[in-house]
């Protein structure tokens, strides 16, 4: 800790730096103390700064929007110019772009060589990251929460702690930087980063708001038959006076809808237990519909500007988490839900709108600028209390998809929902990008129906499986509508995923071929004596001869048994299925894939040290 004092004003600043030797990752944050007798206004409060010296600087960012989160791009910061990455939504800030970056010195960021610095701000609210290339070839960079839309007032005796910025340096390219970040994340950045994640079936795209208890029982029975471990009931299960039959009513009234669920949540949880699977549920406690008992009782709990019409988004308002009464209500609702129904093993916590009219009836006029930060601190305090009281419950962070894919949120959740766009083709791009910053164990990825509900694209079941198996595998469809052929394939693929799950969820990531640079995307995970390789063909040209796929991270002097997983009617695509080959051969000569058509994919397991005799 470095202790600093302003020579002219009664302000002290502590600069905290923490080094994690086993991963090579650093964290930095600041603590600002107002030791005077009057309040001060804070216009900028960075968590950390970097001063670098090189000839050229390239910055990789992960910008996006709903349905297209964390799409990667790289640009040079020209001499004398400044590049700013920022988000001002207040709640789902990562949807406009994950608060992370990669700085590459003297050229674009290579995968396996060159000096790079990877960083991420652990903050789910407004953030600002900037890079200024001075005329003398220094790069001044800073990152932290954005004090917006107005200065933060720190009262006399007050303390403001900024969120950590996480930094990983690599002299061997961005691949090693990602592996360092992932090792740190699994140990420190995620809740339960050392615990395997369950496969699950989420009800949303299967039935949306329209379901009965019998329909859910049928989905659970089919899920158990396929080998799925958890059933998650999504939106639409609550509200009586204002039943949640669409997005326009019920938010805030967290009582079971007895018309839909005559035996309640406990009846569903008991049915799941009878079938040998776990049960989970969807909530959105930060929101309220105007058509709700909660809003009729407490209209003053909603964020909005006095004297102006409050705008609706998705037919809902945002509750003011800077208000301790609101936090107490949300905490009480969740304590009752999880305490009364101990069969709930998983919570999908959603957040489907931003702060659009930033006004608080709780904060006085002088402190209105504190709302964006106080809201996030309120959200964090509620999740911290729930994590402590219900440590056995798995929490997923959903925010219209990937709006809270940040390390501030992930300290309190086990995983995030990568995107509401479940198209396997587009998910390959998004998972490739966000995988630079986050390990596979943190990314929810689901096998969904074809044609896809968002894009209308038809993709083979094997491709959909191979895309989802590269992260935390789940399902989001009506399994009772599956053909027997697709169900049989799904059983085999789910069993294979459970077998390779430790490699995918805890292994070191090696990126082989980028979908942003090639018609083929490929990556692999390596853990101890096994590796799993994924490859997806995004487009096929008639006159095309893709180069061999050269693997990474293997032991050159070791022989590996190779097995293709999830083969469909097309059979083997690699000609190495059930072959034993040396690690040096696989990394230098590589594997040729006999691609035949667009949206084919390969899942290949490499098992170390096995002598195999083909009889």
pLDDT tens digit string along 253-290?
A: 999 999 999 999 999 999 999 999 999 999 999 999 99
Rounded-to-integer distance, Cα 201 and Cα 216, Å = 11
259-292: buried (b, 16+ CB within 10 Å) or exposed (e) per residue? ebbeebbbbbbebbeebebbbbbbbbbbbbbbbb
pLDDT tens per residue, range 116-159: 999 999 999 999 999 999 999 999 999 999 997 789 999 999 99
Given the residues 146, 234, 350, 423, select the one marked as catalytic: 350
Q: How large is the angle between the packed helices 264-275 and 213-226, nearest 10 degrees?
A: 20
pLDDT of residue 611: 53
High-pLDDT (> 70) share of the chain, % = 99
User: pLDDT tens digit string along 494-504?
Assistant: 999 999 999 99
Mean pLDDT score of the chain, rounded to an integer?
Answer: 96
Inform me whether the pLDDT recorded for 505 exceeds 90.
yes
In percent, the amount of the chain with pLDDT more than 90 equals 97
Mean pLDDT of 545-554: 94
**Is the confidence at residue 614, as pLDDT, over 50?**
no
Of all helices (H) and strands (E), which one includes residue 536?
strand 530-537
Question: What pLDDT shows up at residue 182?
Answer: 98
CA distances from 299 to 290, 294, 309, 453 (A): 9, 8, 13, 36
Judged by phi (left if over 0) then psi (alpha if -120 to 50, else beta), residue 223 lies in alpha
Q: Is residue 96 pLDDT above 50, yes or no?
A: yes
Average the pLDDT over 1-29 and give the result.
Answer: 96
pTM assigned to the model:
0.96
| pLDDT of residue 612 exceeding 70 | no
pLDDT tier at 374, thresholds 50, 70, 90: very high
Q: Which residue has the higher pLDDT, 93 or 544?
A: 93
Q: What is the pLDDT of residue 615?
A: 39
Task: Give the dihedral of Cα atoms 562, 567, 572, 576; nearest 10 deg.
Answer: 0
Residue 118 has a CB neighbour count (10 Å cut-off) of 25
Q: CB of 361 within 8 A of CB of 305?
A: no
**Peptide bond just before 149 cis, omega within 30 deg:** yes
Using pLDDT thresholds of 50, 70 and 90, give the confidence band for residue 404: very high
350 is catalytic: yes
pLDDT-derived band at 542 (thresholds 50, 70, 90) equals confident
Q: Choose the catalytic residue: 420, 423, 466, 508.
A: 420
With a CB cutoff of 8 Å and minimum separation 6, the contacts of 364 are: none
Determine the pLDDT at residue 596.
Answer: 93
Q: Is the pLDDT of residue 546 over 90?
A: no
Which of these, 32, 48, 49, 119, lies nearest to 406 by C-alpha position?
119
Model confidence at 544, pLDDT cuts 50, 70, 90, reads confident
Residue 493 has pLDDT above 90, yes or no: yes
Residue 234 bears catalytic tag = no
**Across 14-18, 81-85, 607-611, least confident range:** 607-611
**419 has a pLDDT exceeding 70:** yes
Place of tokens 């590269």: 470
CB atoms within 10 A of CB 51: 10
Q: Is a pLDDT exceeding 80 seen at residue 463? A: yes
CA distance 188 to 408: 11
In this prediction, residue 453 carries a pLDDT of 98
Residue 609 binned pLDDT confidence (cut-offs 50, 70, 90): confident
Question: CA 122 to CA 124: how far, in whole Å?
Answer: 7
What's the pLDDT tens digit per position in 27-75?
999 999 999 999 999 999 999 999 999 999 999 999 999 999 999 999 9
What's the average model confidence in pLDDT over 146-175? 95
Band (610; pLDDT cuts 50, 70, 90): low
């Amino acid at each position: 800790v470095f202790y600093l004092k302003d020579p002219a004003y009664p302000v002290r600043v502590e600069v905290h730096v923490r080094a994690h030797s086993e991963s090579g990752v650093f964290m930095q944050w600041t603590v600002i103390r107002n030791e005077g007798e009057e309040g001060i206004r804070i216009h900028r409060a960075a968590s950390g700064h970097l001063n670098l010296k090189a000839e050229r600087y390239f910055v990789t960012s992960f910008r996006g929007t709903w349905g297209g989160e964390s799409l990667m791009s790289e640009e040079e910061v020209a001499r004398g110019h400044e590049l700013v990455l920022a988000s001002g939504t207040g709640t789902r800030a990562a949807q406009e772009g994950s608060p992370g970056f990669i700085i590459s010195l003297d050229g674009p960021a290579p995968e396996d060589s060159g000096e790079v610095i990877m960083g991420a701000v652990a903050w789910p609210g407004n953030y600002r990251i900037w890079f200024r290339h001075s005329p003398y070839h220094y790069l001044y960079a800073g990152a932290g929460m954005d004090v917006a839309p107005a200065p933060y007032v720190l009262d006399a005796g007050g303390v403001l702690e900024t969120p950590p910025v996480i930094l990983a340096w690599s002299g061997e390219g961005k691949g090693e930087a990602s592996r360092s970040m992932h090792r740190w994340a699994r140990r420190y950045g995620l809740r339960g980063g050392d615990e395997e994640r369950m496969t699950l079936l989420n009800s949303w795209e299967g039935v949306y708001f329209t379901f009965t208890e019998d329909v859910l029982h049928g989905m659970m029975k089919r899920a158990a038959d396929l080998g799925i471990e958890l059933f998650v009931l999504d939106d639409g299960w609550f509200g009586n006076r204002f039943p949640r039959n669409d997005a326009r009513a019920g938010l805030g009234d967290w009582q079971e809808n007895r018309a839909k669920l005559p035996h309640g949540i406990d009846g569903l949880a008991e049915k799941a237990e009878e079938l040998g699977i776990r049960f989970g549920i969807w909530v959105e406690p930060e929101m309220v519909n105007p058509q709700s008992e909660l809003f009729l009782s407490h209209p003053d709990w909603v964020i909005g500007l006095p004297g102006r019409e409050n705008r609706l988004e998705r037919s809902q308002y945002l509750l003011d988490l800077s208000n301790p009464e609101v936090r107490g209500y949300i905490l009480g609702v969740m304590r009752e839900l999880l305490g009364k129904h101990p069969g709930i093993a998983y919570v999908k916590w959603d957040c489907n709108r931003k702060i659009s009219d930033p006004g608080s009836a709780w904060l006085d006029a002088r402190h209105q600028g504190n709302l964006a930060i106080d809201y996030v601190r309120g959200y964090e305090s509620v999740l911290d209390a729930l994590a402590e009281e219900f440590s056995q419950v798995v929490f997923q962070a959903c925010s219209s998809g990937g709006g809270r894919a940040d390390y501030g949120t992930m300290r309190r959740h086990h995983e995030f929902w990568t995107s509401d766009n479940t198209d396997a083709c587009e998910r390959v791009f998004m998972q490739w990008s966000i995988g630079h910053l986050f390990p596979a164990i943190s990314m929810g990825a689901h096998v969904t129906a074809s044609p896809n509900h968002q894009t209308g694209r038809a993709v083979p079941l094997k491709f959909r499986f191979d895309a989802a198996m590269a992260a935390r595998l789940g399902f989001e469809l009506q399994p009772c509508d599956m053909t027997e052929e697709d169900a049989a394939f799904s059983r085999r693929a789910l069993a294979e995923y459970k077998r390779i799950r430790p490699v995918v969820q805890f292994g070191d990531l090696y990126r082989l071929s980028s979908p942003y640079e090639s018609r083929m995307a490929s990556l692999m995970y390596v853990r101890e004596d096994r590796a799993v390789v994924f490859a997806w063909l995004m487009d096929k040209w008639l006159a095309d001869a893709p180069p061999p796929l050269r693997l990474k991270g293997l032991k050159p002097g070791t022989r590996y048994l190779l097995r293709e997983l999830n083969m469909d009617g097309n059979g083997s695509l690699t000609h190495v299925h059930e072959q034993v080959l040396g690690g040096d051969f696989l990394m230098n000569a590589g594997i040729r894939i006999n691609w035949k058509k667009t949206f084919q994919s390969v899942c290949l397991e490499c098992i170390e040290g096995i002598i195999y005799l083909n009889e």
